[in-house]
Structure 1
Amino acid sequence: MMAATKRFTFGVTAAALSLALAGCAGSADPAGGGQGGAHGAKKNAPAGAPKSAVRLIGDGSTAYTGVQPLQPVPHKLKAGEKPPQFVVFSWDGAGEDSQRLFSHFRRVGQKYNATMTYFLSGVYLLPEAKKNLYDPPQHSAGRSDIGFNDAKGIKDTVEQIRGAWFEGNEIGTHFNGHFCGKDGGVGTWSKEEWKSEISQAKSFVKNWKTNAALASLKPLPFDYDKELVGARTPCLEGRKNFMRAASEMGFRYDTSGVNDQIWPEKQGSLWDLSMQLVPVPGRAFQTLSMDYNFYMNQSGATRGDEDKHQYWGDQMRDGLVQAFQRSYKGNRAPLIIGNHFESWNGGTYMRAIEDTIKRVCTQREVRCVSFRQLADWLDAQDPQVLAKLRTLKVGEAPKTDWAAFLAPGAAAGPAGHAPAAHAPGAPDAARPAERH
C-alpha cells in the first residue's frame, strides 16, 4: 500500500512537540502509522493508496510506493539562527528475533518522537538453505560469521522493516557476513570486494521472496537501490576502501569512523557521520557511543556480575546524557549513537538506550532523526555556516551568542578541534572496536 505523505520542517514549536508526545501507537501494521510524529509534529496514520499506486520491482520483494511518509523538509538556517540539536539513534544488524527488540524500539520511537536508522544485515533475509547464494570476499560461498535466517525470522524481519519505513525511519545496511579481524576481515577488502559485498546485500533485500519461498507476503515498500544511501561497516573496519566503493555506488554518508562531538564535514562526496567519543561517568576516559563499547569496558564483552547490571546500564545512560548535554548547551553538534538488538548483561543497555531516548528526544529544539534526514539538513545549509560551526570545540558554545556568531560577515571563530583518538591513561579503553 502507498502511504499518504505528510511533510514537516525541522523547526517545530513546543506546542507541536507536546501534541506529538500525547499518544503512542504500538501497531506493527506497516500502514498503521502511529501518533508519535517525526521532528516535533504529530504523526497521523498513513492512509492506504489505490492498488494502482504500487509498482512491483523484480520478483515483488520490493516495490515503488511513492515518496516515503513523514519526512521533514529541511530548511537553511536563517542569518544568526541557532541550529537545532540533532540526535541519531541507529541499530547495527537490525532484524526481528524472539527477543522482539526491533518491534519494541519501533514503539519507543513513536512514543518519544524519534526517527531512527536501521542497518539491515542482508543475510537476515537469506534462508540457511540458500546460504551458498552468498559469495563473500576472501571466504568460501555460504560462509557467514553471523549465520543466516529461517522463514519465520525473514517474515518477522520484513514485517518490521516495512513498518519502520512507513513510520519515516531509514533502512541502511550492515552488509552481510560480518567478518572482522585480519583473516579475511572487512578491513582487508579492496574497493572491488566492497562493491561485491554491497551488491550482494542489495540482492538479498531485492529477492527475499524468491530465496525464502514467501511469494504471498507484501513487498518492502521501497526501491532499495534508491533507499540505500549509507552504512556502518562491521567492527568499524575497512572504512577507507568501503568509502571509495560507496562513493561510486551513490551512497551519501558513512558512519564507520571515530570522532569527537564536533560538526560533520564531507570526505569526498560522503558525509562523515562518524561514531563519537562520549564520557564514561566515574572513569577517566571516554568510549565510543555504542552499547557494545560500554559492554566491553564494563565486563569485557562477557556476561558480568548481575549485581552490577543496573549500575552499568545507568552508567551508559548517564554517559550518553552527559554527551547530549555538552552538545545541547555547547556547540550543538549532532550526537551519533549506535546500538544492537541484544540483551547483553541482562538487557541493561537496551534499558539505557530507551531511557536516553525518553530524556533527550522530548526536549525543546531537539530533533531525533535518521542519518538520511541529518544528511538532508546538512546538504541544505550554507557551507560557510557549517564551516563556522566546525570551529567550535567539544561542548564549546559561541563566546557571544548564536545570533552574533552566525551573523553574516561575523569573524571566524577559534581553530577547529582535531579528534582525540585516545584518552590519557587509557589507550585501549577509549575506543575498542565494535565487534558484534
Structure 2
Amino acid sequence: MVAVRLSADSNGVLETPRDGDRMSAISRRALLTTTAGAAAGLAVAGCGAAGGGKQGAPRAQRTGEHSGASGARAPAKTVRLIGDGSTADTGPQPNQPVVDRLEPGQTPPQFVVFSWDGAGEVGNGLFPRFRKLADDHGATMTFNLSGLYLLPEDKKLMYAPPNGPLGASDIGYLSDEHIRMTLDNLRQAWTAGHEIATHFNGHFCAGSGSVSRWTPADWKSEIDQAVAFVTQWKTNTGWYDEEPLPFDYAKNLIGSRTPCLLGQDNLLPTAAAIGWRYDTSNPGGDQIWPSKRMGVWDYPLQLIPFPGHSFEVLSMDYNMLANQSHAATSSDPRNYPGWRSQATASYIAGFQRAYETNRAPFFIGNHFEEWNGGIYMDAVEETLKHIAAQGYKDVRMVSFQQLTDWLDAQDPALLDKLRTLEVGEQPPGGWKEFLGQVPASTATGGAGEGAAPAVTATT
C-alpha cells in the first residue's frame, strides 16, 4: 500500500490521499507489496512489502536452510531463552560500531541508511541478496519486520486489527516455508549487526480501517500485537525445536515505519510513551539534519534530485516506480535499462549532494520486490556499491538504531548548528570555522526534550 499525494506543488510532491481513495491490490505473495496508481511526474510515498551483514558474518543463503548464525553451531555463550523460547537474550549485538562524539570544528561523518519494509523472504532471494551486499561492503541496514510474517495463516484470527475484522490483512500471510526462510534471515541479519525494527501488521491504507484513522490507543494495540507475533512464533507455529531469534525483540525494538507513511501524528505519542527513540514514517522531507518530534527522532524520506526532471522525487523505490511507469509493476522491458540508470543516478545524486554540502544523513527506503524486472533492486545495489567504491573514510552506512545512538551522543548545541544548514548548503567558512565556535553543552542527546544518555561504545 502507498500514501499517494494528490495535489502537486512546484517540486512535484503530492498530498496524502483522503479516505476512500481507490488503490489497486496486487498479490502480496507475488509482489510483497500493494501499489496505487499515480499521475506521471508526481512524487509518491510508497510503503509495505516484505523486507544486509558485515565482514565475518555467516554467508548469505537463498533458502530457509539453517544458517548456523544462532543456536548450537554458534560460538559458545550464555543464551537465556525468553518466554516460549521464540527469542533469546544472547548478550550484546555483534558488529556494532563505537559511538564517537564530534569535537568543535570537526567535519561530521556522512551517514547513509538503507532500510527495508516488510522484511520477509518468500524464496526470491532478495533478503539474502542484500544481506550479502551489506556484508561485502561493511554496511548495516534496518529491516522493518511485519509481525504477521511470523504468524501462520491458520492462526490469523489471533490478529485483531484496529477498526477491522479479525484476521484481516492487506498484505496476506506467508506460507510455512516462507516463515522459516524469514526466521533464518532474521537470525543472520541480527548476528551480522543489522537492526530489526517494525512495519506493524496488516498494512491498512484505505477505508475506515486505514492507519491514518488510528488513535494512539489503536497504535498501542497494533504494536503489542506485532511484538507478540515475533516473540511467540513458536507457540503459534508449534515449531519448538527451531532455533530462537537471538535477540530480545521486545527490549530492542526502538523504531518503526508506518504502512503507507500514514498516521505518524497519532503514533508518536504512543511511541514516546513506550520509549521508542525514532520513527521513519514522515512522508517526505528535505535533506537536512533531523530533529525530534515529541521526544522521538523524526527520519523522513527525503526529496532528492530526479535526473531528467525539474522536480525532485522521494528517496524510495516505489516513488521511482510511480514516476517512471505510473506505478505499473510490469511495463515494456525496453524501458528498463533507462529507468534503472535514472533511479541509480537519483540515489547517487542525493548522496553526493549531502556529502559535498551539509552532510545531512541520507535515507533510502525500499521493499523486497521485483517491479519492472527488478530494476529498483539493481538501482539500490549499484548505489551502495558506488558509495563504497568512493573510498570515503568519513562515510558510514548504518542502521537507524546506530544513527540514533550517534545523534544521542552528540552535543545538542552542535546539532542545533548543523540544522541551520539548508539543502545543498556548504558550511560557511568550512567545517572547522562553522563548528569551531559552537559553545560546549553539558547535556547530551540532541534536540533537547527526551534526550537519551550518551552512548560510549559497543562491540
TM-score category of the 2 structures, normalised to the smaller one: 0.7 to 0.9
- Which residue in the other structure is 1:419 paired with? none
Partner of residue 366 from structure 1, selected from 395, 400, 410? 395
Partner of residue 263 from structure 1, selected from 251, 273, 289? 289
Q: What secondary structure sits across from 1:287 in the alignment?
A: strand
Once the two structures are overlaid, the 10-residue window that deviates more, 161-170 or 308-317, is 308-317
Corresponding letter in the other structure for 2:416: A
Partner of residue 59 from structure 2, selected from 26, 30, 33? 26
Q: Is the 8 A contact 1:25 1:107 kept in 2?
A: no
**Cα shift at 1:213:** 1.7
- Which residue in the other structure is 1:324 paired with? 351
**Cα shift at 1:181:** 2.1
Q: Is the 8 A contact 2:413 2:438 kept in 1?
A: no
Q: What secondary structure sits across from 1:171 in the alignment?
A: strand
**Cα shift at 1:402:** 0.6
Q: What secondary structure sits across from 1:337 in the alignment?
A: strand
Corresponding letter in the other structure for 1:299: S
2:123 counterpart of 1:98: yes
**Cα shift at 1:287:** 1.3
**Cα shift at 1:47:** 6.4
Structure 1, unmatched stretches of 5+, are 1-19, 34-45, 411-436
Q: Is the 8 A contact 1:23 1:111 kept in 2?
A: no
2:393 counterpart of 1:393: no
Partner of residue 350 from structure 1, selected from 352, 377, 380? 377
State how far apart, in whole Å, the 2-side matches of 1:343 and 1:398 are. 40
What are the residue-to-residue correspondences of 1:197-212 with 2, within 5 Å? Answer: 197-212=222-237
- Which residue in the other structure is 1:299 paired with? 325
Q: Is the 8 A contact 1:229 1:253 kept in 2?
A: yes
2:145 counterpart of 1:120: yes
Corresponding letter in the other structure for 2:293: Q
Distance 1:196 1:25, change over 3 A: closer
2:195 counterpart of 1:162: no
State how far apart, in whole Å, the 2-side matches of 1:255 and 1:370 are. 12
Q: What secondary structure sits across from 2:196 in the alignment?
A: strand
State how far apart, in whole Å, the 2-side matches of 1:197 and 1:102 are. 25
Q: Is the 8 A contact 1:261 1:394 kept in 2?
A: yes
Q: What secondary structure sits across from 1:338 in the alignment?
A: strand
**Cα shift at 1:31:** 5.1
Per the normalisation by structure 2, the TM-score is 0.80
State how far apart, in whole Å, the 2-side matches of 1:356 and 1:31 are. 30
Structure 2, unmatched stretches of 5+, are 1-52, 440-459
**Cα shift at 1:210:** 1.3
Per the normalisation by structure 1, the TM-score is 0.84
State how far apart, in whole Å, the 1-side matches of 2:232 and 2:74 are. 27
Query: Percent identity at matched positions?
Result: 52
Q: Is the 8 A contact 1:31 1:166 kept in 2?
A: no
2:97 counterpart of 1:72: yes
Q: Is the 8 A contact 1:262 1:393 kept in 2?
A: yes
Q: Deviations over 1:270-315 (max 9, x none)?
A: 0011111111110111111000111011111112221011111111
Corresponding letter in the other structure for 2:177: K
Corresponding letter in the other structure for 2:344: R
2:364 counterpart of 1:337: yes
Q: Is the 8 A contact 2:99 2:406 kept in 1?
A: yes
State how far apart, in whole Å, the 2-side matches of 1:89 and 1:380 are. 21
Corresponding letter in the other structure for 1:58: G
Corresponding letter in the other structure for 1:399: P
Q: What secondary structure sits across from 1:154 in the alignment?
A: helix
Corresponding letter in the other structure for 2:335: K
Residues matched between the structures, number = 377
Q: Deviations over 1:369-424 (max 9, x none)?
A: 000000000001001100111111111111211111100348xxxxxxxxxxxxxx
Distance 1:21 1:48, change over 3 A: closer
State how far apart, in whole Å, the 1-side matches of 2:208 and 2:261 are. 16
State how far apart, in whole Å, the 2-side matches of 1:317 and 1:222 are. 34
Distance 1:47 1:218, change over 3 A: closer
Q: Deviations over 1:236-290 (max 9, x none)?
A: 0001011111111111001111210000111121001111111111011111100
RMSD, matched Cα: 1.8
Q: Is the 8 A contact 2:88 2:248 kept in 1?
A: yes
Corresponding letter in the other structure for 1:405: F
Q: Is the 8 A contact 2:320 2:343 kept in 1?
A: yes
Q: Deviations over 1:17-67 (max 9, x none)?
A: xxx99999634565559xxxxxxxxxxxx96123xx100011100000000
2:217 counterpart of 1:192: yes
Q: What secondary structure sits across from 2:357 in the alignment?
A: helix
Q: Is the 8 A contact 1:92 1:118 kept in 2?
A: yes
Corresponding letter in the other structure for 1:250: G
- Which residue in the other structure is 1:283 paired with? 309
Q: Which has the higher contact order (CA 8 A, sep 6+)?
A: 2
- Which residue in the other structure is 2:435 paired with? 406
Corresponding letter in the other structure for 2:360: A
